[in-house]
């Protein structure tokens, strides 16, 4: 075989390998606070242009630094989740807020959710097109309504009534996403963002925000705004944010499933995460990040990459994309 053919074959073999990656830390002394962030699971070629890799790293770092500072200063986990995800939504590098992928109608249709593990309060919005920061709208649904999930026009009208920042849909649209839309790029483009935190008071919280799948049908909602599927937090077990093939996370109530395995089967956070990602979901479906009530964290993905960051009160401050 000639060299180019060999190289091509090698690339195909490498990219079709099933990737399993679990990263976790248990600490004998309970940490004061912990923050874990993801910028989406998916395929990010190790060889991709340095600019992209730098943008992802910088985005995660900015969010991580802000969240770390807030938690150090005694902020509540629920406020940290909102602030951290807002930063990532404003960063066009990720598939949430500005930079979100485009639906079949060539628009950004955004989903987000947030949950407070101390009282199971939760809020979410789905299919919003003019709300600059869907995570803030989700927080407002939680705080200001007796509902959990508002979608579409109703969610937008509510966001307006709450004086949240409103933008044209074009604000979210980047040239790169337009190009990828035209090229019918892979449906499962990663980049969903999420965060889980434990604050100094021991309260857990979780949040997730996304533009969903490239070329998704108009009106499609994935797991990100579904409490129990893409997001879950319960002080008695853990806080979780998921990223990946949303429909499969919904059918398997993936985030709640981790809670259920810990609560009903007494599995550790790590073992519960492995059970859901390796046995219940299929290879390449995506990833999840989580913190348990003792401040142990766990990050897992079965895709080639998941951009992520960790900051803890005992000095861990890490940003990674692959291994």
Q: By the criterion CB under 8 A, which residues form the site for a second copy?
A: 103, 109, 115, 120-122, 126-127, 145-158, 216-222, 226-229, 232, 246-247, 250-253, 256-257, 260-261, 264-265
Closer CB to a second copy, 76 or 129, in the complex: 129
Kindly state the smallest distance separating residue 253's Cβ from a second copy, in Å: 4
Kindly state the smallest distance separating residue 10's Cβ from a second copy, in Å: 31
For residues 153 and 127, give the distance between their C-alpha atoms in angstroms, rounded to a whole number: 8
Kindly state the smallest distance separating residue 119's Cβ from a second copy, in Å: 10
Closer CB to a second copy, 62 or 250, in the complex: 250
Closer CB to a second copy, 64 or 122, in the complex: 122
Residue with tokens 């508002």: 150
For residues 155 and 284, give the distance between their C-alpha atoms in angstroms, rounded to a whole number: 32
Kindly state the smallest distance separating residue 262's Cβ from a second copy, in Å: 10
Kindly state the smallest distance separating residue 1's Cβ from a second copy, in Å: 36
Contact yes or no for 117/233 (Cβ under 8 A): yes
Closer CB to a second copy, 22 or 250, in the complex: 250
Strand order in the sheet with 231-233: 21-25, 297-301, 286-292, 238-244, 231-233
Contact yes or no for 300/283 (Cβ under 8 A): no
For residues 137 and 150, give the distance between their C-alpha atoms in angstroms, rounded to a whole number: 9
Q: Which of 10, 57, 145, 192 is catalytic?
A: 192
Closer CB to a second copy, 158 or 301, in the complex: 158
Q: What angle do CA 253, 258, 262 make, to 5 degrees?
A: 140
Q: Verify whether residue 192 is a known catalytic residue.
A: yes
Which helix (H) or strand (E) is 197 found in, with range? strand 193-198
Please provide residue 251's backbone torsions phi and psi, each rounded to the nearest 5 degrees. -60, -25
- Residues with Cβ within 8 Å of 216's Cβ and at least 6 positions away in sequence, in order, are 101, 103, 104, 109, 187, 222
Q: Which residue numbers are catalytic?
A: 192
């Amino acid at each position: 075989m000639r060299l180019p053919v060999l190289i091509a074959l090698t690339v195909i073999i490498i990219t079709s390998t099933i990737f399993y990656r679990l990263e976790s830390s248990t600490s004998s002394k309970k940490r004061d606070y912990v923050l874990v962030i993801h910028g989406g699971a998916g395929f990010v070629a190790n060889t991709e242009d340095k600019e992209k890799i730098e943008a992802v790293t910088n985005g995660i770092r900015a969010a991580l630094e802000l969240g770390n500072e807030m938690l150090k200063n005694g902020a509540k986990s629920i406020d940290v989740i909102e602030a951290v995800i807002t930063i990532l939504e404003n960063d066009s590098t990720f598939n949430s807020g500005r930079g979100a992928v485009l639906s079949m109608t060539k628009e950004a249709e955004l989903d987000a959710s947030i949950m407070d593990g101390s009282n199971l309060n939760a809020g979410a919005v789905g299919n919003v097109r003019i709300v600059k920061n869907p995570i803030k709208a989700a927080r407002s649904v939680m705080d200001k309504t007796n509902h959990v999930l508002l979608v579409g026009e109703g969610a937008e009208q509510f966001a307006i009534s709450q004086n949240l920042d409103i933008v044209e849909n074009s604000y979210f649209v980047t040239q790169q996403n337009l190009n990828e839309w035209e090229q019918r790029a892979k449906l499962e483009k990663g980049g969903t963002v999420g965060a889980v935190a434990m604050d100094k008071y021991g309260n857990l919280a979780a949040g997730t925000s996304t533009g969903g799948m490239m070329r998704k049908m108009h009106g499609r909602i994935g797991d990100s705004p579904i409490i129990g599927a893409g997001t879950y937090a319960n002080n008695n077990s853990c806080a979780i944010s998921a990223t990946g093939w949303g429909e499969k996370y919904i059918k398997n109530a993936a985030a709640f499933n981790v809670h259920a395995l810990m609560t009903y089967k007494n599995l550790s956070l790590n073992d519960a995460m492995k059970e859901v990602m390796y046995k219940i979901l299929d290879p390449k479906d995506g990833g999840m990040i989580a913190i348990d009530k003792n401040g142990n964290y766990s990050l897992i993905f079965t895709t080639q990459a998941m951009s992520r960051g960790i900051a803890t009160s005992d000095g861990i401050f890490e940003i990674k994309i692959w291994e």
